[in-house]
Amino acid sequence: MKHSELFKLIFGLIPVAVLALILLFFFFTFYLPRRRKSNVELAASESTTDPDRIESDCELVHEDLVCFQGGGDLHIPDILDAPGEVIGKSSYGTLYKATLIRDHVDSLVLLRFLRPACSASIKEVISVVNAVGLIRHPNLVPLHAFYVGPRGEKLLVYPFYNRGNLSEFIRDGNAESLKWEIIYKISYGIVKGLDHLHTGLNRQIIHGNLKSKNILLDSNYQPYLSDYGLHLLLNPTAGQEMLKTSAAQGYKAPELIKMKDVNETTDIYSLGVVVLELLTGKEPIDPNPSHSREFYLPDVIRSAILDHQIGDLYHPDLLTDLNSEQKLIAEDRILKLVQLAITCCSPSPSLRPHIKEVLRKLKEIGK
Ligand SMILES: *[C@@H]1O[C@H](CO)[C@@H](O)[C@H](O)[C@H]1NC(C)=O
Ligand SMILES: *[C@@H]1O[C@H](CO)[C@@H](O)[C@H](O)[C@H]1NC(C)=O
């Protein structure tokens, strides 16, 4: 090889080498950091269609905050430093009413803390949270953000609702809770919310833990179902604990033995119990079983129907302040709603109506 040829070859390679160096520089300074930083944005963006990528990224990141619509301006310290009070405790975690302070403005939120020992694998959790975080419906509590801490603790961030939960509303002596219009409006909203979970999503979500304490009310008595799909975030042991509590409070369908077997018909059963609660103002199970006979609301209503004890089917104050003609119309509607609720509580799952059927009947009753 002549000297001049070697010379040409070297000079010819220099631009290539420089270009390669420049490309490497840009790769390390811009591409890599962006990819890491975008974990949160990626998981939060609605267009994300590649769950595998998020999952593998999340296992590398020990502390992470995933924000959804409505939680976009949240930061980890906002949530962890928020002063809060405990309003609910369960075997798998704690519910807090907390005050977020952002830009000197206070706002109330609900924080649900899940104990690390109770949670399903991070892979399952992330996939469920990404589905639940996108759900928006006028009768469903939206998930605003999801936080995973360094020890595997998890926090779910929800908005706070003024009037608290339905269980409290039914029993706090509020005269509004004994008005037919309010009972109807609340029942209708609950059914609409459940209908969306059962039939309105690409991937159906079974609520799994429907009860009056999991239904929140705003100042207009609009109901919002909360904690739907929460059972999917729990490991099997914690799921069974949740089911045990649901059974002890009277919402569990009788045939249901394993939390993982919940389906549409078991949700419909719980729905029936909640509507009976609204109509009677009574708890599904007597919290102070002083009576010789055990009290279970669906059974009591069923036998009252058989015995034609109409007066036992709803709260007597529902018909006060009405003239006799109004009373007839109101009682007819009330009895139809009792009938619908008790059909939802059929001991046999195949006899319970589909949510669409419940909605159709409910519309008919409201006419
Ligand atoms: C429901 O409301 C009652 C009364 O305020 C409260 O004590 C309870 O903690 C609430 N439960 C939940 C789960 O929000
Ligand atoms: C729903 O679950 C219950 C209890 O596990 C079961 O008996 C019933 O057959 C299931 N129904 C459907 C439609 O899967």
What pTM was estimated for this model as a whole?
0.82
Tell me how far apart the alpha carbons of residues 206 and 269 are, in angstroms, rounded to a whole number. Answer: 12
Is any ligand 1 atom within 6 A of the Cβ of residue 358? no
CA of 170 to the centre of ligand 1 (A): 12
CA of 89 to the centre of ligand 1 (A): 10
Q: Do the domain assignments include residue 13?
A: no
Tell me how far apart the alpha carbons of residues 62 and 226 are, in angstroms, rounded to a whole number. Answer: 27
The CATH number that applies at residue 151 is 3.30.200.20
Q: Do the domain assignments include residue 45?
A: no
State whether 130 and 184 are in the same domain: no
* Ligand with the closest atom to the CA of 208: 2
Q: Do the domain assignments include residue 15?
A: no
Q: What integer pLDDT is reported at residue 102 of this predicted model? A: 76
Q: What integer pLDDT is reported at residue 148 of this predicted model? A: 92
Tell me how far apart the alpha carbons of residues 191 and 170 are, in angstroms, rounded to a whole number. Answer: 18
The CATH number that applies at residue 204 is 1.10.510.10
State whether 95 and 180 are in the same domain: no
Calculate the CA 332 to chain-centre distance.
Answer: 33
Q: Where are the beta strands (DSSP E) in the chain?
A: 64-67, 84-90, 93-102, 105-114, 145-148, 154-159, 215-217, 223-225
Q: What integer pLDDT is reported at residue 254 of this predicted model? A: 97
* Ligand with the closest atom to the CA of 265: 2
Closest Cα to atom 4 of ligand 2: 256
Q: What integer pLDDT is reported at residue 12 of this predicted model? A: 65
Contact 108, 98 (CB under 8 A): yes
Amino acid at 86: V
Q: Structural domain tally of the chain?
A: 2
CA of 215 to the centre of ligand 1 (A): 10
Q: What are phi and psi of 256, to 5 degrees?
A: -80, 125
CA of 102 to the centre of ligand 2 (A): 46
Q: Do the domain assignments include residue 37?
A: no
CA of 263 to the centre of ligand 2 (A): 6
Query: What number does the ligand 1 atom closest to the CA of 110 have?
Result: 14
State whether 323 and 242 are in the same domain: yes
Q: Do the domain assignments include residue 32?
A: no
The angle subtended at Cα 214 by Cα 208 and Cα 215, nearest 5°, is: 120
Our mutation pick for probing the ligand 2 site, out of 265, 344, 346, 348, counting the most ligand atoms within 8 A of Cβ, is 265
* Tokens matching residue 227: 């904690």
Domain boundary among 139, 159, 179: 159
State whether 67 and 107 are in the same domain: yes
Which regions in the chain score pLDDT beneath 70? 1-62, 289-293
Query: What number does the ligand 1 atom closest to the CA of 164 have?
Result: 2
Query: What number does the ligand 1 atom closest to the CA of 165 have?
Result: 1
* Ligand with the closest atom to the CA of 163: 1
Q: Do the domain assignments include residue 108?
A: yes
The residue segments making up the domain with residue 143 are 51-159
* Tokens matching residue 206: 């079974």
Q: Do the domain assignments include residue 42?
A: no
Q: What integer pLDDT is reported at residue 61 of this predicted model? A: 46
Is any ligand 2 atom within 6 A of the Cβ of residue 256? yes
Per residue in 103-153, pLDDT tens? 777 889 999 999 999 999 999 999 999 999 999 999 999 999 999 998 889
CA of 86 to the centre of ligand 1 (A): 10
Contact 277, 342 (CB under 8 A): no
State whether 151 and 180 are in the same domain: no
* Beta-ladder partners of 174: none
Per residue in 321-348, pLDDT tens? 888 898 999 999 999 999 999 999 999 9
Domain boundary among 129, 159, 189: 159
State whether 213 and 346 are in the same domain: yes
CA of 167 to the centre of ligand 1 (A): 8
